[in-house]
Structure 1
Amino acid sequence: MQEAIGSRVGWLQSPKRRTFMAAFIFLAYLHPLVVRGEAGFRAGLYFSQTSPLTDEQETAVLEDLRQWTGFVEIQPDENGRIVLGDRTGISGGSATARSLILGAMDGADSYTVEGGYRSPEVAFARIQARSDYVNQKAAPGLTRHCWSIQLDFHDYQELRGQAEAISAFDPGLNLLHELAHAVLRLRDSTSQADPLGDCERFINRIRREMGVPERESYLPVNGLAVTPAGTGQRVVGELTFVRIGPDKRIKKFRLTFDVLNVFAVAVVGRRPLV
C-alpha cells in the first residue's frame, strides 16, 4: 500500500503530468452529453437536491457568497435556486465577484452545487459539464449548458495555516473560481511559465478588492514532513498567499494540507459523494 501511495504522489509531482492533467480536466468539461429539447432545464444557480450539502455547509457557502459579493439577501428559494433578493441591498463585497455571480444567475446555463465528502475525484472543488440542451424549435442555434460544481468539505478540514490564508481560500471563493471557468471560460495554469493561470488571476482581483492576500500559484508545492509520532513521513502540500503593504513590503501567508488526504483518497479507499 505504501508503494502504491508513493507511486501516486510521484506521478502527481511530475510537472509535465500535472500540466497534462490540468489540460485534460479543462477539456473534459467542454465535451458534455448533448440532449435534444429543454424538458426540465432550469437556468440559474442551484443547490443540489440529489447530492445536497448539509445544512451547516449550505449556510457556510451562503455566508461566504454574501461576504465576497456584498449581496446581503442572497439565499435559496423553496426549489433550491439561489436568489439575490433586493439587488440594491449591497454591503461591501467585490464588484468583480458581483459581476461573476450575476453572469451565472442571469445567464442561459444551469449550475448545480453538490456536496461531497472525501471524494477521490475532487480536490476542494471541481466543475463538470453534465449535459447540453438544444431546442432547435424554440431557440434555434442556442445551446444551454448544465454544469455540476462539487465542493468537498472534508478537504477544507485538512487546511492548516494562518487565518488570513484560510479566509482567502474558503468554499465560497472556490465556488466562484469554478463559476469563472464556465461563465468566462477561464483556464487554470497548464504551464510553469504561467504558474497562476487566467482563472486564479481573475479570482485574485476579487481578493484584491476585498483586501485579502492573493494566491501566488495555482498548483501547491509538495514536500515531506515527519508524522507527529515520528514513525513515518507524509506528503504536505503548501499554497502561498501574498499581500503588499502600503510600504511596499511583501508579507506571505501559507496554507498546508495532507496531499494524500486531499488528492489521493482513491489509493486508500473510495468514498462516495453524499
Structure 2
Amino acid sequence: MSTANRKYKDSVFVDLFAEDENAKENFLSLYNALHDTSLTATERMKNIRLDQVLYMAFYNDVSYLVDNKIIVLAEHQSTINPNMPLRCLEYISRLYETIFESKEKYSRKLLNIPTPEFYVFYNGEEPFPCDKILQLSEAFTEKIKEPNLELTVKVININRQNRHPVLENCKTMYEYTVFVDTVRRWKKDDSQNGFQKAVEECIANDILRDYLKRKTKEVVNMLLAEYNYETDIAVQRAEEREIAFADGSYQAKLETARLLKQLGDSTQKIIQVTGLSAMEIEKL
C-alpha cells in the first residue's frame, strides 16, 4: 500500500508490522511467537489490510494472509473497546469479499476459506489482565449456550511488567513496548521535545535502533498523530461522562420532585430541594 496518497495517519505499530521495509519479517516473528512456530518464508505472506474499517480516522490495525490464516492485529494504548468483536466481524466480512469473487460464493464446490484470528495488543496505563477473550455473543440481547454466530478476540497485555510470553519470544514486540514506555516518560518530562528525545534514547540503547535511525522524522510525526488521536478520544470520553452524569443528575432531580409532589409538598419547597424551576415541576 502506497503511503503517498494516504488521507489518514498510520501508527508506529502499524508502520513497524505492516508498512516498513522490514514489516514482513517483524510480523512473521510476532506470528511465530503467537503460534509457537518457526516460519521463515515471508514471500508467502500477503498484506491484506483494509482502509478505514476498524478505525475511521487513524490506522491502528494490521492484517496478513499467512499459513492459510487471516491474522488481524490491532493496538490499543487507551482503554479496550468492548465492541472489538463486532468491529472485527465487519472487518473480516469485507476481507472475505476482497478474497473471493461474488460468483465463487454460488459455486457447488465448497470454498476453502482462510481461518481468521483476531488479536488486540493492549499497552495502556490502566490495569488490565495479562490475557482476556472478548466474544461477540457477549453483546447478544438473548443469551444462549450455543449461539449461531460467534467471533472471539484475544486481548494481550503487552506492558512489560506483565511479562507476557509474546514479549520473550518476539524481540521486535519487546523493543516496541520499551519504545512506548520511553515515549510516555519523555512526553511527561518534556512536552515540547519529548518524542524526539525518546527516539534518541531508544537508538542509544539499541531499541528498534535500525528502524528509528532510518525513520526518525517519520516516527516523530506518527507519534504526534497518535498523541493527537488519543487526546481526542480522551476528550470525547470525558465529555460523554459529563453528559451522562448531567443527564443522570437531572433525572434524579425530576424523580425527587415527582415524589415530593405526590406527597403534597408545595412547589416552593420542591424548588428549594431540587433546584428545578416552577415550570419544570408543573409539567410533572
TM-score range, shorter chain: under 0.3
Bigger helix share? 2
- Greater RCO between the two (CA within 8 Å, min separation 6)? 1
Larger radius of gyration: 2
Bigger strand share? 1
